[in-house]
Structure 1
Amino acid sequence: MNQPQDGSVKPPREQVVLFGAKQSLCGIVTHPTTKTPGIPIVVLNTGIIHRVGHHRMYVTLARRWAAQGHPVVRFDFGGIGDSPVQSDELPPLDANLISIGEVCDWVESNLGLSRFVLIGLCSGADHSVIYAARDPRVAGVVLIDPTIPRTWQFFLRDTLSRLKRPVIYRNILSGRGSTWARIRHLFGGKAPEPRQGEFAQPQLETPEAIAFLEETYQKAVTNGAEMLAVFTGGHSFQHNYRRQLLDALQNVDFGEQLDLHYFKDSDHTFTYLKHRERLFALLDDWLEKKCRVTGEGPGKSFEEVL
């Protein structure tokens, strides 16, 4: 890391950039403090959250990674933060995928680096893997709480967890609450309605949804994208155990390209500093490992493809 003569740490240079055909996608490029840049990292919005991320998490990560040698881009999708809507005609997903491509094009043209890592939380994770399935320039994706189907093991664990609560037995005896609905679903019935305070989740357990996700993940893997997937206990209504991604998408051959983790004690947005630090350490180790290891074919290291 470059340091001034007084011994203090030199902060990374941050540059405001307008990306895209309309020059209206607003973002911040955090330039590395080392002479030899590592692989560029593109950070995607979480839902409607501004590019700083929850608890300014993306600002912290950008500066942390720049100190390790990685150029980092964090930008706002159209209609979020400082970026106006990019298209009145395209669905938001299609418009956002075009925007990711425009940012990656800018990185390649202006930084001279043609492979990238995408990172996203929740909807940002979904955008990351869908785009990786379409662009072989994506060398890796960091997926934090991506949207995945629930499995029979999910519903079994969810039901057993609920059976530990005294209120459940009162509901069972009275015939009220969602307990009976969840038990019926466990044996093939209709999925229960979301609990109070939860958002209605898309029905990802349909054959069509599972087929789409399996095709998406498989294409991303075939394109050579390494995957770091981190799930948290904060979305217990959607996933509640580590291997759920593998069980839900059984036809995807991840090979050695998936590094899978489950942070049971962390909430969805990493509210507590100790949980963010645990996540940051994992991300650092993953990037360092992928930049160091060499290989051939799909799954080859970032170092080799730069």
Structure 2
Amino acid sequence: MREQVVTVGHERPLVGIFCEPSSADMTDSRTAVILLNSGVIHRVGSCRLTVTLARAIAQTSGLSTFRFDFSGIGDSEARRGTLTAEQAAVEEVQEVMDHLSSWKQYDRFILYGLCSGAFAAYRTALEDPRVSATVQLDGYCYMTPKSYLLHYSRRLSSPGRWIKFLLRKLGLFKIKRGAELSGIDEQFFEVPDFASYPPKEDVAKGLEQLNLRNLQMLYVFMGNEHYKYETQFLDCFSSVPFKDNLKIIHQPLASHILSEPADRQTVVEAIAAWVKSTSRKLESHQAPRELDSPVSHGP
């Protein structure tokens, strides 16, 4: 396995780390995995999750990976423009895909992201057919009747919660949330913000398009206040006729940023194994690349 710093673009380039298996270990020369920032966290990821995952995929799955910083984050300088942050993220992922296609002739990409990185992966997949698979940690999902029932029934039936409620009202107890619990500076802490999600109907329509395209999807949901049971995603988007292109993993005891080493290892191993099997599936379902066909170098 070999790692090197790679810059993408000439003016104010995006900076990332390209991780490539040895030629003997490489299993798929057409597919690369791109790992996206979560919030404003540097490309190493929370608790070095992105570094660990990128290397695990290269070692166990035989695929090259590229972890990079969006503009204005980490080592990538800010860029001026009129695009929103969401639009710029999609454009920059496509810029990275163009670069990797031209440099290493990859024509299939698997996008990975946690929280806002997952949302960027989803939006890019909608815009670009070169995205063959996505790995989304705590991606878009909404409450269902069952999740509401589980959410409130557990609270109403818990004596401890009633005691804490009374202590809070008396000013004797303060709840610690998010950044306070994680030890991460608040400006770098990101949690799912359901209030800012797009309408559920819009996401369902997007998933229908991706499903028709047979996009391979892995969703991993950790323990949080909104995702309550393993099949909540399927219940939430019951109108989408998923087949064998969707896998869901629920880790109800794991934190959003996978702060515990054991949880992190479990999720990393599961993702690496899924990426490996998905790469084989993509290879078996697509025709060989024509030797005389020109490789797209982007616009």
Structure 1 stretches of 4+ with a deviation exceeding 4 A read: 167-174
Q: Which amino acid aligns with 2:222?
A: T
Q: Does 1:34 align with 2:14?
A: no
Pairs within 5 Å for 1:15-164: 15-20=4-9, 22=11, 24-35=13-24, 36-38=26-28, 39-68=31-60, 69-164=62-157
Give CA deviations for 1:125-146 in whole Å, capped at 9, x if unaligned.
Answer: 1111111111111111101111
Partner Cα separation in structure 2 for residue 290 and residue 270 of structure 1: 23
Q: Distance in 2 between matches of 1:267 and 1:173?
A: 27
Task: Tell me the alpha carbon deviations over residues 181-203 of structure 1, each in whole angstroms, 9 at most, x when there is no partner.
Answer: xxxxxxxxxxxxxx873668343
Letter in 1 for 2:150: R
Which of these residues, 288, 292, 296, is aligned with residue 276 of structure 2?
Answer: 288
Structure 2 segments unaligned to the other structure (5+ residues): 179-190, 289-299
- Pair 1:272 & 2:265 matched: no
- Amino acid in the other structure paired with 1:91: T
Cα distance in structure 1, aligned partners of 2:225 and 2:80? 33
Deviation at 1:156, TM superposition (A): 0.8
Root-mean-square deviation (CA, aligned residues, Å) is: 2.5
Q: Distance in 2 between matches of 1:249 and 1:72?
A: 30
| Farther-moved stretch of structure 1 (68-77 vs 242-251) | 242-251
Q: In 2, Cα distance between the equivalents of 1:37 and 1:242?
A: 32
Q: 1:297 aligns to what? A: none
Following the alignment from structure 1 to structure 2, what is the Cα–Cα distance between the partners of residues 23 and 204? 30
Q: CA deviation at 1:249?
A: 1.9
Distance 1:62 1:247, change over 3 A: same
Would the alpha carbon gap of residues 173 and 78 (structure 1) be closer, same or farther in structure 2, given more than 3 Å must change? closer
**Higher RCO structure, 1 or 2 (CA under 8 Å, sep 6+):** 2
Q: How many residues align?
A: 266
SS of the equivalent of 1:203 reads helix
CA contact (8 A) 1:133 1:220 kept: yes
CA change 1:272–1:197 in 2 (3 A) is closer
1:31 maps to amino acid: E
Q: Using a 3 Å threshold, how does the CA distance of structure 1 residues 200 and 64 change in structure 2: closer, same or farther?
A: closer
Counterpart of 1:298? none
Could you tell me whether the CA contact under 8 Å between 1:139 and 1:226 is conserved in 2?
yes
